Structure 1
Amino acid sequence: MRHPTLPPEAAALDFAALEMLQVVRDAGSFSAAADRLGVNQSAVSYTMGKLRACFGDPLFVRQGGAQVATERCAALLAGTGTILAAMEEMVRPDAFDPARSTRNVTIACNYYERVLLIPRIVAAIRQAAPRMTVAVINAAGDGHLRLLSREADVLVGPFAPAGAGFHSRRLYPEDYACLMDPAHPAARGPELDEAAYLSLAHVLIQYGGTWRSAYLQEIEAAGHRLTPAITVPSPAGLDTLIAGSDLVATVPRRLGARLGARLVLRDCPFGGRFDLRIGWAADTNASALHRWLRELIWQACRG
């Protein structure tokens, strides 16, 4: 589409025509310029005709057997050099040096990732890019929107691939387990079956937004309903809530192992297996910075 403020002659110009202007100046003749460019002299003459019509100036005049730039052409060449240099910079492959970078990166995630993964990620960034800064924001249930709005560079968490406009990479699989006090009757003996599990005094973690834990989806798919004794908005403080009580919380296994130093972790009959993933918006897919960040997170967190 032609730029609305440019005359038709100017809008029809391209970078090859501007580059030819420089070559004619450097070569001193149309024929020498044609040789350097690997084209016919008629192609040079044709392009120069378009340039002369566009700028309303002969651009070159013959002096002593050579084509010499007019004053107007010299001014144009100065601007053309800036334009071509800027284009060369734009098309040059993106480069990123983590050791010298002072960029900030923003990671969207939730409690699980802040406890288990963010310490690893930050340590890896600090080692490879000590001058960079990191911001961690809450993903809640709409982390993909954080990517679309460019509030976050990457999303880390248990989300499903979101289709067009997004990419993701699997970090590792996870499932749910039951966290309880060592004195709880269910902390020993045979594995919990569905009936025994559903009869427990449950602490339900309501993470907010549209997020539904995978184990709850399994319970509902089996035709059951979980009736919690207590509902909390986050796993924070869960260990002190459960210790010394008859309460049981169903949490991701790795998180339960981290929280439950004084507690017991038992298999859940509704395992709710899911994947931890790293996700990003399509418009950052080719960025050198973002490629580096995603690979660093994957290496730091996989398994």
Structure 2
Amino acid sequence: MVDPFTLDFAALRCLRMVHDLRSFSRAAESLGLGQSSVSYTIARLREVFGDPLFVRQGGGILATQRCIDIVEQVSQMLDEFEALASPRVFDPGTADLVVGISCNFYERVTILPQLTRMLRRDAPGIRLNIIPSQVRGREQLKRGESDMLIGPIRIEEAGYYRRTLFKDDYVCIMDPENSLATQSLTMEAYVATPQVVVNYGGTFRSQFLVELERLGQVPNTVMQVPSPANLPDLLASTDMIATVPRRTAAVFGQAVTVVECPVQAEISIDLQWTPRTHVSVAHVWLRSKIAEASSRFAN
């Protein structure tokens, strides 16, 4: 038996990473370690806990129930220790750190440009690692792949902090030559018109779709795409329309015509994070800057 008191936080963090990623190699890459180091660490943990922790299943690995229980109990301890070890003094002008932010197209074109200008002016040593969240923001936060999540998908379970940044509503966009571009859209015309729907690459449903379902209406969806980034190109010279947040439409400028959407629905953009960074003075400062960069959108 290995003396459990010879273990350190690095070993427990390694266990959590293998558990979350379900892969020794991906955990090694995420932690910046060799795969042999991860294998050795898991072997020691197996001896300490008297359990295989992971078993082979098909082409991957599956955590045992004992492993699941251990990770659940040590996760809060790891987050609290990281928060405890974070510096209590922070000078933006001399700060040197990397912060991961999960977000999607909407947040990248609304919040990040202003935030970037603020950081280059006040904290040039802070480097941002922007990763697409799609519908995986919660998992990215939990695994430590990102430090913050910005977007409309709200994490309801305990253990996450949240701050609402601003709200937006929906409009319809279309090619300027579309016959609907010069008239108000009725609900009847709206649901009948061929529409490109942005599904954000997962199971997330935009609020206008939720509201349509509540009203017993079904849009004439002829195409689904994971991102609104190239909607102007898709809509060009067609009879199709797309429903997007108003501030997304503004980014496209004269490439599209904007018409008020007959569906009354709202999108809420939230900033979310975990206890791991909650008391970090650097992250507290950065979250305040994100809120400041978003303030021009707040009603």
Tell me the TM-score normalised to structure 2 length.
Answer: 0.68
Residue 91 of structure 1 and its aligned partner are, at CA, apart by: 9.0
What is residue 54 of structure 2 aligned with on the other side?
A: none
Residue 194 of structure 1 and its aligned partner are, at CA, apart by: 1.3
Residue 173 of structure 1 and its aligned partner are, at CA, apart by: 0.8
Residue 187 of structure 1 and its aligned partner are, at CA, apart by: 1.4
Q: 1:147-194 CA distances to partner (integer Å, 9 max, x unpaired)? A: 1111111111112242311111111111111001222222123x3221
Change (3 A) 1:296 1:142: same
Residue 271 of structure 1 and its aligned partner are, at CA, apart by: 3.2
Q: Percent identity?
A: 36
The letter of the residue matching 2:258 is: L
Whether 2:123 is the aligned partner of 1:108: answer: no
Change (3 A) 1:244 1:97: same
Match of 1:255, SS state, is helix
What is residue 151 of structure 1 aligned with on the other side?
A: 145
Match of 2:246 among 247, 253, 256: 253
* 2-structure distance, mates of 1:5, 1:247: 64
Match of 1:128 among 119, 122, 133: 122
* RCO comparison, higher one (Cα < 8 Å, 6+): 2
* 2-structure distance, mates of 1:4, 1:277: 41
What is residue 287 of structure 1 aligned with on the other side?
A: 280
Change (3 A) 1:201 1:170: same
* 1-structure distance, mates of 2:257, 2:237: 12
The letter of the residue matching 2:132 is: N
Aligned residues: 217
Q: 1:67-114 CA distances to partner (integer Å, 9 max, x unpaired)? A: xxxxxxxxxxxxxxxxxxxxxxx7997111111111001110011112
Residue 298 of structure 1 and its aligned partner are, at CA, apart by: 0.4
Match of 1:233 among 226, 237, 244: 226
Change (3 A) 1:93 1:137: closer
Extract structure 1 runs of 4+ deviating beyond 4 A: 3-6, 90-93
Whether 2:259 is the aligned partner of 1:266: answer: yes
What is residue 207 of structure 1 aligned with on the other side?
A: 200
* 2-structure distance, mates of 1:232, 1:91: 43
Alignment gaps of 5+ in structure 2: 7-83
What is residue 10 of structure 1 aligned with on the other side?
A: none
Pick the structure with greater CA Rg: 1
* 2-structure distance, mates of 1:182, 1:107: 35
Change (3 A) 1:185 1:92: closer
Residue 5 of structure 1 and its aligned partner are, at CA, apart by: 6.6
Match of 2:131 among 126, 137, 140: 137
The letter of the residue matching 2:245 is: P
Does the 8 Å CA contact 2:245/2:267 hold for their aligned counterparts?
Answer: no
* 2-structure distance, mates of 1:243, 1:5: 65
What is residue 294 of structure 2 aligned with on the other side?
A: 301
Match of 2:273, SS state, is strand
Q: What value does the CA root-mean-square deviation take over the aligned residues?
A: 2.1
* 2-structure distance, mates of 1:5, 1:249: 59
Does the 8 Å CA contact 1:179/1:260 hold for their aligned counterparts?
Answer: no
Does the 8 Å CA contact 2:171/2:260 hold for their aligned counterparts?
Answer: yes
* 2-structure distance, mates of 1:244, 1:275: 32
Does the 8 Å CA contact 1:213/1:272 hold for their aligned counterparts?
Answer: no
Does the 8 Å CA contact 1:180/1:249 hold for their aligned counterparts?
Answer: yes
Alignment gaps of 5+ in structure 1: 7-89
* 1-structure distance, mates of 2:266, 2:197: 18
